[in-house]
Amino acid sequence: MAEAVAEADIRPGEVRIEAGEAADAELRFIGRVRTPWTVRADCPRQGDPEGGPVCRIEVFEPWVAALEGIDRHAWLEVLYWMHEARRDLVVQCPRAGNGPVGTFALRSPVRPNPIATSLVRLVGVAGGTLRVRGLDCLDDTPLLDIKPDRSRG
């Protein structure tokens, strides 16, 4: 997807690179994230764990057993793969108009490895499905991992 929009979707001041061959890290998608957003323009810039919509995290078998005890944690860190994101910009011009900024100085989805993290509030658990508030990704986003957020107890 990134190559099809590479040149047409660059803002003035942004720098695009050819990233070269990828090394396989053997990531395993353990589930899917279900949100109300189907296009990037509709996604919030940051999720709202207090007033944002309730979203679902659907964990695949055999990983459902790994959810045992997760209901003891009010806050979770969710890592997911931004499968629709570009991967070729090293300098970006954010919509906020703060001028050119290096990719690693931003929380933009445009990254060499489009791994995202969100701190979410756990609303409920039913089988292999978590209901949470605070996500900011597209519907059907691949899930990488879930961890209790130790900073919030």
Domain definitions of the chain by residue range = 27-148
The span from the CA of 95 to the CA of 61, in Å, is 39
Return the pLDDT at 24. 81
Q: Give the residue with greater pLDDT, 20 vs 39.
A: 39
- Would the pLDDT of 6 be above 50? yes
The span from the CA of 143 to the CA of 32, in Å, is 5
What is the pLDDT of the chain when averaged over all its residues? 89
Q: Which fold has domain 27-148?
A: Elongation Factor Tu (Ef-tu); domain 3 (2.40.30)
Among residues 30, 40, 149, the alpha carbon closest in space to that of 95 is found at: 40
Return the pLDDT at 90. 94
Q: How much is the pTM? A: 0.83
Burial of 29 (0-12, 13-18, 19+ CB in 10 A): middle
| pLDDT confidence band for 2 (50 / 70 / 90) | very low
Return the pLDDT at 9. 79
- Would the pLDDT of 3 be above 60? no
Three-state DSSP class for residue 27: coil
Return the pLDDT at 7. 63
**Tell me, what amino acid is at 103?**
T
